[in-house]
Amino acid sequence: MEPARVSVLLVDDQEPFRGAARVVLGRTDGFELVGEAQSGEQAVDLADKLGPRMVLMDINMPGINGIEATRRIVDAHPETMVVLVSTYQASDLPTEAQTSGASGYLNKEDLTPRVLRRLWEERGNGGWRAT
């Protein structure tokens, strides 16, 4: 029996990053991009409709930011793994990032198939992870 694919919702207001992330997800065995959002509001709506197993969530977006969108998604769907992504260094993240319900943080430059698989495999180990 083939293992279940990891359905991913990609959330970022910048098309160049979404394009790059699409390529990475397409090259990551076992992962499937099921939707894209350009705002926190769209992310919350799509998470309700699509039920992704993982959300890659930008922090800075117009409207509700990624931290607030993460809170709303995790409150409604605690089984969903949300990983915050941005260009911040981990030490410069807003303090609310660690209390948002996200599983961790990934710098956009570090998004690779290997890192995605590792984040998914380590999801049950608890705690906040900044990669």
Strands (E), the chain: 6-11, 31-37, 54-58, 81-86, 104-107, 129-130
Pick the CATH number of 6-111 from 3.10.20.30, 3.20.20.150, 3.40.50.2300, 3.40.50.720: 3.40.50.2300
pLDDT for res 124: 64
The candidate with the shortest Cα–Cα distance to 117, out of 128, 102, 101, 106, is 106
pLDDT for res 72: 98
pTM of the prediction?
A: 0.93
pLDDT tens for the 131 residues of the chain, in order: 446 799 999 999 999 999 999 999 999 999 999 999 999 999 999 999 999 999 999 999 988 999 999 999 999 999 999 999 999 888 888 889 989 999 989 999 999 999 999 999 887 666 556 66
Domain positions in the chain = 6-111
| Per-residue tokens: 40 | 């926190």
The candidate with the shortest Cα–Cα distance to 120, out of 4, 6, 29, 41, is 6
